[in-house]
Structure 1
Amino acid sequence: MSESGIVGAAGLLRQAREVFHDDAAALAVLDELEGRLAGPLRIAVAGMVKAGKSTLLNAIIGEEIAPTDAGECTRIVTWYRYGHTPRITLIPLMGEPRQLPVTREDGRLVFLLGDIQAEDVERLVVDWPSASLRELTLIDTPGIASLSQDVSGRATAFLLPEDAPTAADAVIYLMRHLHASDVRFLESFKDTSAGQSGTVNALAVLSRADEIGAGRIDSLISAAVIADRYSRDENLKPLALGVVPVAGLLAQSSRTMRQSDFEAMMLLARMDRKQWERMMLSADRFVGSAVSPELSRDVRLSLVERFGLFGIRLGVALIRGGLDGPTALAHELARRSGLGQLLETIAYLFQTRADALKARAAVVGLETLLRSSPGDRAAPLEAALERLQAGAHEFRELKLLAALRTGGVALGAENAAEAERLVGGRGSLPALRLGLAPEAGPEEVSDAARNCLNRWHMIAENPLTESSGVEACRVVLRSCEGMLAAMPAVR
């Protein structure tokens, strides 16, 4: 991000600290905003009850540290961030924070709340030494549209606060099918002051994708077709940057595969095919069938709980196809679960523009503070804030991206699609903006950027281009110029 954005936001916060030097409450807000600007990108994982939020979060982290049962802790907003040593901090609604014991059972992290009830907890903070958390802080939220109004209210209050910016810079929204409640939530997230950038900070995930094909080995193919259709849905397209299908249970278990899992699948792969096919008619039949002592009922029950029938079928098929080690099998299962595509999408949609999203969150937070401040104090900061928002190109890109997604720019379908790509709608890396392969060299990128620059100059100067289209052209031209300026060696 350019100095006009990330550095400009930091400068505004320093200026605000001078203005509010004698206001303890305002200084606390500024402390939070400065910490947010300097810290990792915050991504919330949201969705309806049993959408698979905690399971997917475990898959992203690569360890089973988020509870996936229906216990007390799934009703609490839980932050997962990088720390050199494992630590769990409980922050109550009233009173001082306290440390919880770090306890694992059967490889899974267990939260022991003691005598505190879930409704008395503001949030849990889990510090964990995972490389996946170095650049991302993940936030697990309770289920939206829960039968419990308290549980649903907690998620809504966190993600859509009435009088403050949301604590998340972006949201991954899980859905099993496209319901009206999914659309309503994403519309609400877009409409909050922290969500004015619309589609720049929301990604939809078609979770539990293996269930769409009833656990068949080709389930993810069917899920990909449905996800593509959803991504072009007129109700969803303005609200999310895309839809990615993921078999969450398989993604989690492949990232945490044990030697015993692999050995059990090896035994299954050696079974008589007819016996195998009879066993796989249902989960009950798989667990209850009489087979060799090495494949005890407990072993088979564990496989079903960890991988599901889809994961078992796929794992056995891959072993029969020649994969002969737990590491190779785990990597291939993770890839086929859709997790790789999701991680790549998070990287190019969110992480490549992390500075812009964090700076924008800081600006929104400062706006909220100024609205509740006396006019004589707020006036100088409001003017500086307005200048930053008008001048920071990254903010103009975010604004244009939202307008393009909602059809508010008169450019024509083909030009609008290209403009969306050039301002970072498919990812912020120059090659992605220009529609090139990620491995494209500097000369190829430079030539493509120069061609786009010339073409959009012509569109801007065309007397038939409407005023909203001309303004969009100016933003696109600045984006093309920025790509060229970043490659002085090949200009």
Structure 2
Amino acid sequence: MLAKTPPDNLARRVARGPLFGTRDYDDIALPPPARTRLLERFGQYGIVLACDLTRAGVDSVAALRTELANRSGLNRFRTLLADHFGRRADLIKVAHTLSRTNTLTTNGSARLQSTLDTLKSEITTLELSHTQHFQALRVLTDHYDGALTLSPADAAELLRPTGEHGDSLSDRLGRPADAPGLIEYVETRIDHWSTLALDPTVPPKTANAIRFARRQYEEFLADLL
């Protein structure tokens, strides 16, 4: 069922990490509970790879299992990241994959241990190189979990700089990139979120979301100047 989803659309949805298993999408018929189970069993990488194989003609569970095992090495992992997520603003949340690798065993094989160590290093490097994207995903997760205490207007605005409505500057600002007074608008948003950040009673997760929104607008302003 997932394999019928256009590859780019599926990659974008899976890149949302935990949100893939909780949100409703018009282009994905599989219900959220089933997607959550797939995430827990296969991870983001495994889901995309399994759908790739199904589209390529693998039509039985046994054959799919064999192909997944054959293609689960480091080189395939790197290729998948580059092909599906490397050019996207929202990078795949590989922390989930890293946590799964920590449970793997190598049965004393030095070669397998070396490969596993290299894989962990690659994933950690990606996390450190794309901190902003992981922070955006955390903010979105907290929002959809109902963990934020923002006003309805602020909560709705928060979705834009996080990239929930699109990755372009106009998507993130909610107005055309060549709209008059855009710099002044961004400056007012920085002031607004900076004011919210001054409240010492704001819960930690909400404070983190506020700081993230402010930093995003500061980066938007730098891009516009």
Q: So what's the TM-score if we normalise by structure 2?
A: 0.55
Query: Match for 1:372 among 93, 101, 104?
Result: 104
Shift of 1:397: 0.5
- How is 1:57-456 mapped onto 2 (pairs within 5 angstroms)? 136=8, 173-175=27-29, 182-188=31-37, 194=43, 354-357=87-90, 359-360=91-92, 365=97, 368-369=100-101, 371-372=103-104, 378=117, 381=120, 385=124, 388-389=127-128, 392-436=131-175, 438=176, 440-441=177-178, 444-456=181-193
2-structure distance, mates of 1:474, 1:411: 13
Corresponding residue SS for 1:421: coil
Distance 1:425 1:193, change over 3 A: farther
3-state secondary structure, aligned to 2:201? coil
How many residues end up aligned between the 2 structures? 168
Q: Any idea what the Cα deviations from partners look like across 1:408-461, whole Å, max 9, x if unmatched?
A: 22223322221122211111222222221x4x4165433222211111010011
Q: Secondary structure at the match of 1:185?
A: helix
* C-alpha separation in 1, matches of 2:119 and 2:36: 33
Partner of 1:123: none
Change (3 A) 1:441 1:415: same
439, 442, 464: which one aligns with 2:201 = 464
What displacement does 1:406 show? 2.0
Residue identity in the other structure for 2:34: F
Tell me which protein shows more strand as a share of its residues: 1
Distance 1:461 1:432 in 2: 27
In structure 1, how many angstroms separate the alpha carbons of the residues matched to 2:129 and 2:208? 13
What is the distance in 1 between the residues matched to 2:42 and 2:193?
32
- 2-side partners of 1:402 and 1:430: how far apart? 22
Larger radius of gyration: 1
Contact 1:353 1:428 in 2 (8 A): no
The answer to which structure has the higher helix fraction is 2
Q: Which residue of 2 aligns with 1:19?
A: none
Normalised TM-score (structure 1): 0.28
Q: 2:214 aligns with which of 455, 469, 477?
A: 477
Superposed CA RMSD: 4.4
Query: Structure 2 stretches of 5 or more lacking a match?
Result: 15-19, 45-83, 107-112
Identity over the aligned pairs, expressed in percent? Answer: 17
Contact in 2 for aligned 1:193/1:364 (Cα 8 Å): no
- SS of residue paired to 1:410: coil
CA contact (8 A) 2:149 2:206 kept: yes
Classify 1:469/1:430 alpha carbon distance in 2 versus 1 (closer, same or farther; 3 Å).
same
Does the 8 Å contact 1:460/1:473 carry over to 2? yes
Asked if structure 2 preserves the Cα contact closer than 8 Å seen for 1:194 and 1:361, the reply is no
**2:142–2:205: 8 Å Cα contact kept in structure 1?**
no
CA distance in 1, matches of 2:220, 2:163: 12
Consecutive unaligned residues of structure 1, counting only runs of 5 or more, are 1-44, 48-52, 58-79, 81-135, 140-158, 160-165, 176-180, 196-350
